[in-house]
Amino acid sequence: MNGLMMSFPLTLNAIFRRAETFYPAREIVSRLPDTSLRRGTLGEFAGRTRRLVRALRQLGIRPGDRVATLAWNHQAHLEAYFAAPLAGAVLHTLNLRLHPDELAYIVSHAADRAILVDQSLLPLFECVRPQVQIPIVIVIGGGAAPDGMLDYESLLDATAPIGDEPDPSEDTAAALCYTTGTTGKPKGVLYSHRSLVLHSMGISLPDVMGIAERDVVTPVVPMFHANAWGLPYAAVMAGAKLAMPGPHLDPASLADLLHRERVSIVAGVPTIWMGLLQLLDANPATYDLSSLRTMFVGGSAVPQAMIEAFEQRHRLRIVQGWGMTESSPVGSLSHVPLDMADAADADKYRHRAKQGRPLPLVEIRARNEAGIVAWDAKTMGELEMRGPWVARQYFQQEGPSDRFTSDGWFRTGDIVTIDGRGTIDIQDRAKDLIKSGGEWISSIALEGALMGHAAVAEAAVIAIADAKWGERPLAAVVLKAGASATADELRASLAPRFPRFWLPDRFEFVDEIPRTSAGKFQKSALRARFGR
**Residues with catalytic annotation?**
179, 326, 435, 440
Report the candidate in 298, 209, 286 with the shortest Cα–Cα distance to residue 251.
286
Among the listed residues 31, 113, 357, 429, the single contact to a second copy using CB under 8 A:
357
* b/e 417-427 (16+ beta carbons within 10 angstroms → b): bbeeeebbbbb
CB closer to a second copy, 101 vs 171? 171
Residue 390 binds a second copy, judged by CB under 8 A? yes
Among the listed residues 178, 224, 395, 469, the single contact to a second copy using CB under 8 A:
395
Residue 215 C-beta: closest distance to a second copy, Å: 8
Residues 420-439 that bind a second copy (CB under 8 A): 421-422
Residue 406 binds a second copy, judged by CB under 8 A? no
Among the listed residues 82, 410, 502, 521, the single contact to a second copy using CB under 8 A:
410
Q: Which long-range contacts (CB under 8 A, 24 or more apart) does 425-434 make?
A: 425/354, 425/355, 425/377, 426/301, 426/322, 426/354, 426/355, 426/383, 427/380, 430/382, 431/182, 431/183, 432/462, 432/463, 432/523, 433/380, 433/463, 434/461, 434/462, 434/463, 434/471, 434/472, 434/473
Residue 64 binds a second copy, judged by CB under 8 A? yes
Among the listed residues 35, 36, 60, 63, the single contact to a second copy using CB under 8 A:
63
Report DSSP state, residue 488: H
Residue 144 binds a second copy, judged by CB under 8 A? no
CB closer to a second copy, 52 vs 90? 90
Residues 20-59 that bind a second copy (CB under 8 A): 21-22, 25-26
Question: What's the CA gap between 306 and 311, in Å, rounded?
Answer: 9
Residue 178 binds a second copy, judged by CB under 8 A? no
SS3 157: helix
Among the listed residues 80, 155, 189, 451, the single contact to a second copy using CB under 8 A:
189
- Sign of the Cα torsion 279, 284, 287, 293 reads positive
Beta strands 330-333 and 357-358, pairing class? antiparallel
Residue 60 binds a second copy, judged by CB under 8 A? no
Among the listed residues 110, 132, 220, 238, the single contact to a second copy using CB under 8 A:
238
Residues 84-113 that bind a second copy (CB under 8 A): 90
CB closer to a second copy, 363 vs 508? 363
Residue 373 C-beta: closest distance to a second copy, Å: 15
Residue 339 binds a second copy, judged by CB under 8 A? yes
CB closer to a second copy, 188 vs 246? 188
Q: What is the distance between the terminal CA atoms of the chain, rounded to a whole angstrom?
A: 59
Ramachandran class of 270: left when φ > 0, alpha when ψ lies in -120 to 50, beta otherwise? alpha
Residues 456-515 that bind a second copy (CB under 8 A): none
Residues 156-175 that bind a second copy (CB under 8 A): 169, 171-174
